[in-house]
């Protein structure tokens, strides 16, 4: 008797959801036919109420088409040193051309293109650094990413071929391949990777540290922490916290040099977190831009290892860009979706997917932390 209403409610909910799905399917189909109609497009451009919307959609569509060209203009500005040249100077085009070793006409073309993107701006008869150019120079990690994007673009020259390639991977994967090798790599093999991670870490570190009270803990182990940029940032903000780093031996060697030069006392462990046991004795473990670099099986292996290493009540802190983050959807599934495919390992995950993975390996509870700039960093804290 008591089960019948429950069944009826379930059937009613299913029927209601089905009707809603059918409605949205028909509505989307109608909308797409309308927007694709040349007649409607001409009307939308002429009609005052729809003209701003039509123009905005046209700009967005053209940005999708021209995005690669914009990126290459940015790359040219970085490779020639144009942005650094104009950082503290307003120069005429002839001087700029001589300094960046381009013909005057080519320098003028680059300057005008860069101005259209907000990277530089015309000031009288000269040129100065633009607002976007100034912001970019303030975040060295972005410039480092752009500088190595030629590897990504080589893989993206034929995106369909990349998608059809089993496991992805290409030029970019060879840049990161040391992490998958049995020999754990040497200093030469990890130099480029470590430099890029170190340069792009400050903004991520600041967002991560702002999102959680690290002073609640006694000992922090950063797993896969590279040259220790995150730990260095934590040390400045939480001086009483004991710090440790676990990464590949060749990476740890470079981190020790950085710690010594900064006068920091950091315990270091060399090993491969997919094969070796995670060091114990820490009440907080962090993964900063590590989980999304690994496919599901390896990510689960890593999480199980961390769960085993933590004491009861110990915490795992995860910070990285996450898929389907409101306002940052393009960064997650578009940029990192294809970046990680070209890298040959990993995928962007939603916060809900990560929470599910944490529950599967045995974490008692977890919740999403608020960050000031989810475009670059989202965060989750999990309790063993």
- Among 261, 208, 267, 213, smallest CA distance to 238 is for 213
Taking residues 107-116, what's their average pLDDT?
A: 96
Question: What percentage of the chain carries pLDDT values higher than 70?
Answer: 88
Whole-number Å distance between alpha carbons of 378 and 384: 20
CA 154 to the chain's CA centroid: 19
Q: Is the pLDDT of residue 152 over 80?
A: yes
Domains in the chain (CATH in brackets) are: 51-138 (1.10.10.10), 143-383 (3.40.50.150)
Q: Is the pLDDT of residue 69 over 80?
A: yes
**Tokens at 112, concatenated:** 């005008």
Residue 107: predicted pLDDT:
96
Q: Is the pLDDT of residue 156 over 90?
A: no
**Tokens at 126, concatenated:** 């000269």
Q: Is the pLDDT of residue 57 over 80?
A: no
Whole-number Å distance between alpha carbons of 83 and 120: 8
**Tokens at 303, concatenated:** 């999480």
Taking residues 237-248, what's their average pLDDT?
A: 94
- The better pLDDT of the pair 43, 194 is held by 43
Taking residues 164-185, what's their average pLDDT?
A: 63
Residue 85: predicted pLDDT:
95
Taking residues 330-355, what's their average pLDDT?
A: 90
Residue 7: predicted pLDDT:
44
Residue 10: predicted pLDDT:
46
Residue 2: predicted pLDDT:
36
Whole-number Å distance between alpha carbons of 7 and 327: 39
Residue 221: predicted pLDDT:
98
Q: Is the pLDDT of residue 168 over 80?
A: no
- Mean pLDDT across the chain, nearest whole number? 85
Residue 292: predicted pLDDT:
93
Whole-number Å distance between alpha carbons of 215 and 207: 16
pLDDT band at 196 (very low <50, low <70, confident <90, very high): low
- The better pLDDT of the pair 114, 167 is held by 114
Task: Report the predicted TM-score, pTM, of the whole model to 2 decimal places.
Answer: 0.78
Q: Is the pLDDT of residue 347 over 80?
A: yes
Least-confidence region, from 209-223, 276-290, 321-335, 350-364: 321-335
Q: Is the pLDDT of residue 135 over 90?
A: no
What lies within 8 Å, CB to CB, of 334 at 6+ separation is none
- The better pLDDT of the pair 177, 238 is held by 238
Residue 90: predicted pLDDT:
93
For residue 183, count other CB atoms closer than 10 A to its CB.
9
Per-residue pLDDT tens digits for 256-267: 999 999 999 999
Query: Is residue 147 a contact partner of residue 175, using CB atoms and an 8 Å limit?
Result: no
Q: What is the DSSP string of 4-59?
A: HHHHHHHHHHHHHHHHHHHHHHHHHHHHHHHHT-HHHHHHHHHSTTTHHHHHHHHH
Query: Is residue 289 a contact partner of residue 320, using CB atoms and an 8 Å limit?
Result: yes
């Amino acid at each position: 008797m008591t089960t019948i209403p429950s069944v009826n409610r379930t059937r009613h909910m299913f029927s209601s959801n089905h009707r809603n799905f059918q409605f949205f399917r028909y509505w989307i189909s109608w909308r797409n036919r309308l927007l694709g109609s040349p007649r409607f497009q001409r009307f939308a451009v002429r009609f005052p109420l729809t003209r701003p919307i039509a123009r905005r959609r046209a700009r967005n569509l053209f940005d999708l088409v021209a995005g690669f060209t914009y990126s290459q203009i940015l790359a040219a500005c970085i490779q020639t040193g144009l942005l650094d040249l104009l950082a503290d100077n307003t120069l005429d085009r002839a001087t700029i051309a001589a300094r960046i070793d381009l013909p005057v006409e080519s320098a003028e073309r680059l300057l005008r293109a860069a101005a259209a993107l907000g990277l530089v701006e015309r000031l009288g008869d000269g040129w100065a650094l633009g607002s976007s150019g100034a912001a970019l120079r303030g975040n060295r990690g972005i410039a480092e990413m752009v500088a190595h994007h030629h590897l990504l673009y080589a893989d993206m020259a034929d995106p369909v071929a990349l998608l059809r390639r089993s496991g992805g991977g290409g030029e970019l994967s060879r840049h990161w391949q040391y992490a998958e090798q049995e020999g754990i790599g040497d200093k030469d093999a990890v130099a480029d990777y470590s430099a890029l991670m170190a340069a792009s870490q400050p903004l991520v570190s600041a967002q991560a540290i702002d999102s959680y009270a690290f002073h609640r803990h006694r000992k922090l182990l950063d797993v896969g922490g590279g040259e220790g940029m995150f730990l260095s940032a934590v040390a400045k903000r939480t001086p009483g916290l004991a710090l440790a780093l676990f990464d590949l031996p060749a990476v740890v060697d470079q981190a020790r040099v950085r710690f010594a030069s900064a006068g920091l006392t950091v315990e270091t462990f060399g090993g491969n977190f997919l094969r070796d046991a995670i060091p114990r004795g820490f009440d907080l473990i962090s993964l900063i831009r590590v989980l999304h670099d690994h496919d599901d099986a390896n990510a689960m292996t890593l999480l199980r290892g961390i769960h085993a290493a933590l004491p009861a009540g110990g915490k795992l802190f995860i910070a990285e860009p996450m898929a389907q983050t409101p306002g940052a959807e393009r960064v997650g599934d578009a940029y990192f979706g294809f970046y990680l495919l070209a890298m040959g390992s990993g995928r962007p995950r939603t916060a809900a997917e990560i929470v599910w993975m944490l529950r599967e390996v045995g974490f008692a509870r977890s919740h999403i932390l608020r960050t000031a700039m989810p475009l670059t960093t989202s965060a989750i804290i999990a309790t063993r």
